[in-house]
């Protein structure tokens, strides 16, 4: 599973990369660590508003849910959801069919066990440009959106840097973004998309042990002091 994301791209870079603009541009700020264990927002493009970038709380809750994020997440961790959940959990089924989204990131953090220790890696595109992750979302009773990453079995590259679990996010290339948000995808097509995600060229940076112990301010790049040689 993946519980920490990053989006260090500047707003203008995000908009230029995807040709989609922020609905509330002044609310956006780059963030080196998006920690899923805290109530935090991520940038999304949704099926209902495909031409704007909006915000959603990371952690899926039922449609029209009225209680606090913490109340739900303390009982059910829904930062990541798998295909079996989306097809079998009653309140998720409609989300999968009607409320898919694209979650914008510049990278995500993985963890590898080696010699009795854990090592953290920062996974990005080889180009280091922002990219889309597959997600689903709902709209809460107060009108705020909430979302989850859809995960699937790790591919050969990611599994080399992530063996805490066998699940990783699904990267959606820009060329397939419109298809992912289309109303025309049936369950069979969605299942095929998730079971056989598109191949993309990635790279992994080993992070220093002190990385998550320090408070890192928002910025356009990861500080080189936190990258291991």
Alpha-carbon distance of 173 to 61, in angstroms, equals 26
Are 170 and 94 spatial neighbours (Cβ–Cβ below 8 Å)?
no
Per the structure, the count of domains in the chain is 1
Closest to 205 in 3D by CA, of 136, 106, 133, 114: 106
Quote the pLDDT of residue 228: 54
Average pLDDT over residues 160-165: 92
Average pLDDT over residues 97-121: 95
User: Can you say how many angstroms the Cα of residue 172 is from the centroid of all Cα atoms in its chain?
Assistant: 11
Cα dist from 13 to 9, 17, 129, 162, whole Å:
6, 6, 8, 28
User: Can you say how many angstroms the Cα of residue 60 is from the centroid of all Cα atoms in its chain?
Assistant: 12
R_g over Cα of the chain? 17
For the cut 80, the answer to whether the pLDDT of residue 33 exceeds it is: yes
Quote the pLDDT of residue 229: 45
β-bridge mates for residue 158, sequence order: none
Average pLDDT over residues 103-132: 95
Quote the pLDDT of residue 133: 98
Please identify which residue in the block is written with the tokens 């303390």.
74
Mean residue pLDDT of the chain comes to 91
Alpha-carbon distance of 95 to 97, in angstroms, equals 5
Which is more confident, 23 or 198? 23
Quote the pLDDT of residue 227: 52
Angle at 152 between CA 148 and CA 155, to 5 degrees: 135
Domain extent at residue 41:
4-226
Ramachandran area for residue 128 (φ above 0: left; ψ -120 to 50: alpha; else beta): left
Quote the pLDDT of residue 186: 87
Q: What is the CATH number of the domain that holds 92?
A: 3.90.1680.10
Q: What does the pLDDT look like over 55-79, one tens digit per residue?
A: 999 999 999 999 999 999 999 999 9
């Amino acid at each position: 599973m993946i519980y920490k994301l990053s989006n260090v791209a500047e707003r203008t870079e995000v908009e230029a990369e995807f040709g989609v603009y922020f609905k509330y541009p002044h609310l956006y700020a780059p963030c080196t660590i998006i920690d899923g264990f805290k109530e935090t927002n991520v940038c999304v493009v949704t099926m209902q508003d495909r031409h704007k970038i909006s915000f959603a709380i990371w952690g899926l809750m039922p449609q029209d849910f009225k209680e606090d994020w913490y109340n739900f997440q303390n009982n059910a961790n829904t930062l990541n959801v798998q295909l079996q959940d989306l097809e079998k959990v009653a309140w998720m089924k409609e989300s999968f069919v009607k409320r898919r989204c694209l979650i914008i990131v510049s990278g995500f953090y993985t963890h590898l066990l080696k010699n009795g220790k854990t090592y953290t890696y920062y996974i990005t595109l080889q180009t280091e440009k922002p990219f889309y992750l597959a997600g689903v979302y709902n709209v809460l009773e107060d009108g705020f959106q909430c979302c989850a990453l859809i995960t699937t079995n790790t591919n050969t590259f990611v599994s080399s840097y992530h063996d805490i679990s066998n699940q990783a996010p699904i990267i959606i290339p820009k060329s397939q973004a419109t298809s992912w948000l289309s109303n025309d995808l049936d369950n069979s097509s969605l299942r095929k998309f998730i079971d056989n995600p598109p191949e993309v060229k990635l790279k992994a940076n080993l992070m220093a042990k002190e990385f998550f112990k320090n408070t890192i301010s928002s910025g356009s790049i990861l500080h080189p002091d936190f990258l291991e040689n």
